[in-house]
Chain A
């Protein structure tokens, strides 16, 4: 495998120690001081002989940023995979593209973010690039190969020959009139073309690549072929029989409630039916149970980003609803009705009752279980 770290020449610092890589983009003189501090942190914490941890490194960088004047800190990004885990940390106008062995790609940008963007990695990236935002014309020095140490540079490409900087064919940019702005042929099957790159929540997608699928007449898609996805139990249309009057018909519909234990009500009014397990967090799609379909995602976010990407889990265990923390950064708290808030540590599980509240980050979830519900209904 090609594990060369190629350098994009430019005004910045590139540091590599073991499997930890950092790029700092230096625009002002005072950025130099901060960049030297960053390099020092890496030098002391990322040496393979020192039992490094990527997550510890990321936390250290966060601490460094938190204690400094915003104007002193350059835009910088770190990609690290050491100590059995990985972390990406991005601050300011820098982007990180990651590619994994299974073909997954991820994209993080620090643009427009007030503090920083970070992410724990469960897999080692097969390739990655760190570049200043909006620099499609930069070309990596194909002869460069940084194994360890610090050099001048404004970006890096690891593990693969850097792709040419031309825009993708499927990616049209709204600010380029004409371009590849041709109609999507109606003869194409509704296949999603390669990914529009994900952006941070709240970013304006104006200048991002995008994917479109025409919904105009598609003779290749007979109305019923896609029903594997869309099929619903619609019930027969041709039943016959008398139409009972509403007042006579007080038939119970309890039989329709099977398999459901209640609801989770989020503080913004969103309600989720408790008929399956849930993974709760800012990006629950990242958790294996959601990816395999064993659990549903329950997306909860807060402006302070105190909710972890995968924060907590709600599990249905026969007729009990059980909650547990899922390795969140800021903890999961639970309060039984009329009880105190208690933190769920490690793998501790708590069975909820009607009225139990769950707090993750700054958000609250309320459990409404059916036992109480049917009692009031009858």
Chain B
């Protein structure tokens, strides 16, 4: 694919769940002196009526003015292919940083993402897909990207495609059991993401690769194992996000952000 709706694709940035992200030169209608944009192109064929709902959801997300959320430009449909254009962030993501990112910088990025999630929550939207690959690294800090839209394309689907197996460990088991994504499930995902950047390890060890059913059983039947390498304070923050019962978790994502900042300060004072 070389482009869509007058966007010229320059480089494939990544193949994520449900689609691809390209670095693209924007069309003349958006030329506002800005540079390249990132265009997410969904793999699923999107009928007209579904597109209308995607537009409505993204309009709500776009209306949330937050420095911690990736800026959205345009959503479109061409030949049943749905895409949206967003701000291009050049320094990669927590899953694939463009430059070496130390532990403290990564924790700060998760804290920023938690603030972004909170801003979404206050607008009535759950992000649904918080994970290291969706926390981008910009010069203004961490930026939460790629709000989960899979539920529009395939209602009832919890995971699509093998790529999503790797995302499984960031999904609240309560959601996997069929509950609606919520403030609390995003907080679970923040806890799992924080655990990864602090320890380099997932909560469920090495999930079986390419075996969706096996990975699902692991995630649903085993309790998340918080690493013993964490300091007591670090462990407590992670655990407070991972409570099995959503009602027992941290109440808000901004609360989680505040706790991460305390950990960052403690780590900075120590090191």
Contact = CB atoms under 8 A, between A and B. Distances in A.
Nearest to B252: A237
B157 A272 contact: yes
A226 B81 CA distance: 23
B182 A212 contact: no
Interface in B119-137: 121-126
Nearest to B153: A299
Contacts of B155: 276, 296-297
Contacts of A190: 55-56, 59
A358 to B, nearest CB: 15
A334 B33 CA distance: 58
A230 B159 contact: no
Nearest to B47: A285
B182 A232 contact: yes
A70 B161 CA distance: 35
Interface string A187-204: 000101001111101011
Contacts of A249: 243-245, 248
Interface stretch (A13-21, A129-137, A156-164, A253-261): A253-261
Interface residues of B, number: 84
B269 interface: no
B3 A215 contact: no
Contacts of A237: 121-122, 183, 251-252
Interface residues of A, number: 81
B73 A216 contact: yes
A213 interface: yes
Contacts of A210: 4-5, 76-79
A268 B244 CA distance: 29
Nearest to A243: B240
A189 B242 CA distance: 40
Contacts of A253: 173-174, 177, 244-245
B247 A239 contact: yes
B165 A269 contact: yes
B103 interface: no
A123 to B, nearest CB: 17
Given A199-B79, A299-B154, A271 B74 contact: no
A63 interface: no
A231 to B, nearest CB: 6
B144 to A, nearest CB: 16
A334 B73 CA distance: 47
Nearest to A247: B239
A220 to B, nearest CB: 10
Contact of A212 (B75, B159, B240): B75
A246 interface: yes
Interface string B181-195: 111100000000000
B162 A268 contact: yes
A269 B1 contact: no
B199 interface: no
A41 interface: no
A183 B29 contact: yes
A276 B155 CA distance: 10
A296 B48 CA distance: 16
Interface string A359-378: 00000001010000100110
6 contacts: A210-B79, A234-B121, A260-B178, A270-B161, A273-B178, A285-B47
